[in-house]
Chains A and B, each alone.
Chain A
């Protein structure tokens, strides 16, 4: 029987594409379809579980085996697969546009640009491509990929039902009980995620609507220059005590933030899927989000979708959400409904169907 060999640039913890790859390993393993998993970089994985790119040889492939590449950035994997005499399929998770990094981290912009060129390079070689959103699928179609389909990222909401850090959660709950508005965004600190726009809206909210508020920005940094500017900006607006840059946090802390916050605010300019929206759905945390790229598709009716993210509009939307309990209830209910669309049993089956078609 033909097998599927997985290829991923970075196999690490707390990363959406790595988590997706782990789910794929389990799914393919259950059906006897799993080959090897190769990563250009890996941390925290067993050697047997993940092979390096140097371990790859087409000779290890049986006839009909497929190299299934998790495409999300520039990687040495792409040229290797483009040249190798093996069948190739692409699982596209989106590549952030180089423009958003160009002024901040030119070398990152270069990597992203390389990723886009590699994506083009693989278009003819790939026999099929699976995108995790229709937005991503359209990008594939636009540059000439054929036999494309959309299957959402494999996300297991039940794995998120973990124990929250009780100390942190109690603190947040006490703050809420005292009328504090608690804003949350989860995502890497990066120019395309536009945390600076969240800080602007939050500053406006505190000055015009409710001074009793705190913003938590959770996520490691993808840009030292952007992180530095963000810290300076927060300091200059006198909000160092009201904005917490939490960095990468443990699973328990993450659950506490989701359960303790009053609103999830996402003002990203570029998202290929946006897994944190699903996490917010799961925790019944109402969402205010900016209408950009794949965000409206993932959000569905599960949040307030803004076409204008100027501070006054965002702050007023958050105020409305906090004031209007009927609206809040409706949005969180719709969020749970939307989460049901991404139920891992459904997405696993869709993935299996899509892969069986090409095996």
Chain B
């Protein structure tokens, strides 16, 4: 058996991530224990320190909305203890009157916020459920077709890249294979489980993860290239711009960003019916991507158009801050 190397350790860590994810999904790990621990710590943390989940925050506001008028009296000194007791007894009527008004106000405020949050949940659920998003991802991963000449342009554009290349929305790894054959170190992320598993079965370095969550965890300036495949085709313009912004942050100076998209004309074809119905938006024309890229410091964008798809390839350029 050959000795371990650093890549093996990285692989072990990735395997741990994947194993935990699979075991959580299958119920093999007690996911509720993690949530319980989060909530338990949140009980003792300041309201703002528990993250951005609005339901957690509201629960903690509700816990704190009642003002306790009996502060703790413990004191090792008997005289101090007696003094505290006396002060508490004397001012209790006054403190109680104020505390009752403050508690009533707090209670009404948190109740109103709770109702607002519930209504927001209903609005969001009516607009877009996780099940719809999952169906949309699966369907798009199945039908998205990138022309071979467009793919070839992408491979060529990444040949001279230094640093790791990441493909977001890598499907079953068809492009990663081509990149590897050309000596380019590349890994992928695919939100849809079946194609991700197919890619892993081919021995490719692919994770099944939410693309937005994954992007948020990447260190700034840590990548030499990013290929955004199809993911930007069906979100709102703001969602697409946000993903592009995360990509711009993750790219090193001189890093290459590739947007691979379906041509908007194929969107009307029969096999795209489900996707077209479920999507919040349609594929951009290349000029829109270029406009976004320019805003985010990704320059020299060039377009390669195929029959069913196109690529927009730009270079991340950071301003020179050193005088």
Contacts and interface: CB of A to CB of B under 8 A. Distances in A.
A229 B40 contact: no
Contacts of A326: 3-4
A102 B12 CA distance: 36
A330 B322 contact: no
Interface in B1-39: 3-4, 6, 8-10, 12-13, 16-17, 19-20, 23-24, 29-31, 33-34, 37-38
Contacts of B29: 208, 312
Contacts of B10: 305
- For the residues of A in contact with B, the DSSP-based class is helix
A233 interface: yes
Contacts of B321: 141-142, 144
Given A204-B33, A236-B40, A104 B9 contact: no
Given A204-B34, A331-B9, 5 more contacts: A103-B47, A144-B323, A200-B34, A207-B33, A311-B37
B43 interface: yes
A232 interface: yes
B298 to A, nearest CB: 19
A334 B8 CA distance: 13
A208 B217 contact: no
Interface in B281-323: 321-323
A208 B12 contact: no
B34 to A, nearest CB: 5
Contacts of B38: 200
A53 interface: no
Contacts of B17: 307-308, 313
Contact size class for B? 35 or more
Contacts of B41: 196, 199-200, 229, 233
30 contacts: A103-B45, A103-B47, A103-B49, A104-B46, A138-B221, A141-B322, A191-B49, A200-B38, A204-B37, A207-B30, A208-B30, A229-B41, A233-B40, A233-B41, A236-B40, A291-B219, A301-B6, A301-B9, A304-B12, A304-B13, A305-B10, A307-B13, A307-B17, A307-B217, A311-B34, A313-B16, A316-B20, A317-B16, A320-B16, A326-B4
- For the residues of B in contact with A, the DSSP-based class is helix
Contacts of B46: 103-104, 225
A326 B1 CA distance: 11
A295 to B, nearest CB: 11
A275 B45 CA distance: 28
Given A316-B16, A330-B3, A311 B33 contact: yes
Contacts of B44: 228-230, 232-233, 236
A305 B13 contact: yes
B48 A102 contact: yes
A298 B258 CA distance: 32
Nearest to B213: A308
Contact of B9 (A200, A304, A316): A304
B37 A237 contact: yes
Nearest to A229: B44
Contacts of A104: 45-46, 49
